[in-house]
Amino acid sequence: AQKVTQTQTSISVMEKTTVTMDCVYETQDSSYFLFWYKQTASGEIVFLIRQDSYKKENATVGHYSLNFQKPKSSIGLIITATQIEDSAVYFCAMRGMSNYNVLYFGSGTKLTVEP
Partner 1 sequence: EAAVTQSPRNKVAVTGGKVTLSCNQTNNHNNMYWYRQDTGHGLRLIHYSYGAGSTEKGDIPDGYKASRPSQENFSLILELATPSQTSVYFCASGPSGTGNERLFFGHGTKLSVL
Q: Which residues bind partner 1 (CB under 8 A)?
A: 4, 6, 31-33, 35, 37, 42-47, 50, 52, 91, 93, 95-97, 100-108
Minimum Å gap between C-beta 37 and partner 1 is 8
Minimum Å gap between C-beta 21 and partner 1 is 13
Q: Of 68 and 91, which CB lies nearer to partner 1 in the complex structure?
A: 91
Q: Of 61 and 81, which CB lies nearer to partner 1 in the complex structure?
A: 61
Minimum Å gap between C-beta 115 and partner 1 is 26
Q: How far apart are CA 98 and CA 87, in angstroms?
A: 34
Q: What is the DSSP string of 12-76?
A: EEETTS-EEE--EEE-S-SSEEEEEEEE-TT--EEEEEEEETT--SPPEETTEEEEEEGGGTEEE
Of 99, 86, 104, 100, whose CA–CA distance to 21 is shortest? 86
Minimum Å gap between C-beta 28 and partner 1 is 15
Q: Of 19 and 92, which CB lies nearer to partner 1 in the complex structure?
A: 92
